[in-house]
Structure 1
Amino acid sequence: MITKEMSITDIVEQYPKTIEVLLGYGMHCFGCMAARFENIEEGALAHGIDVDKLMIDLNKAAN
């Protein structure tokens, strides 16, 4: 299960199918340095994305 506290890098490494979800939300940051230090909640907020909706979509892709 993906949580808001997980780093973006950890998410895409553990669940590669989530890359498409992130791209769909306009989050291309999984390859940048911030992805290692930022959790998914911080990244979503920085992009003006609804965190709860993103989490639902990420977890659907991960399963």
Structure 2
Amino acid sequence: MGNEILITKKMSTGEVTKKYPATKAVFTKYFGKGCFDCPSFGTEDINLACMMHNTDVDKFVKELNEAAKQEASKTS
């Protein structure tokens, strides 16, 4: 345990931020504060969001997982 993948690039942006609220900081870092006002936010998958923002999806997913794991460690 501890190294399991929590988030994948196939998950939707909404699914990730709902399950792991700490990931919102990563979305803001890469996509800006307006990210959450975008009509596509919540329905598109992480891979598409990264393509639309010219962001390295593997690096992005890694940071999402780090944020989720930190959040989980604070609650356990």
TM-score exceeds 0.5: yes
Could you say what the CA RMSD is over the residues aligned between the two structures, in angstroms? 1.3
Amino acid at match of 2:14: T
Equivalent of residue 53 in structure 2, options 43, 47, 55: 47
TM-score by length of 1: 0.88
Gaps of 5+ in 2: 1-5, 70-76
How far, CA to CA, are the matches of 2:39 and 2:31 in structure 1?
17
- What percent identity do the matched residue pairs reach? 38
Following TM superposition, by how much is the alpha carbon of 1:33 offset from its aligned partner in structure 2, in angstroms?
A: 3.0
Gaps of 5+ in 1: none
Equivalent of residue 42 in structure 2, options 32, 36, 45: 36
Matches within 5 A, 1:1-63: 1-27=6-32, 28-63=34-69
Give 1 or 2 for the bigger CA radius of gyration. 2
How far, CA to CA, are the matches of 1:54 and 1:21 in structure 2?
8
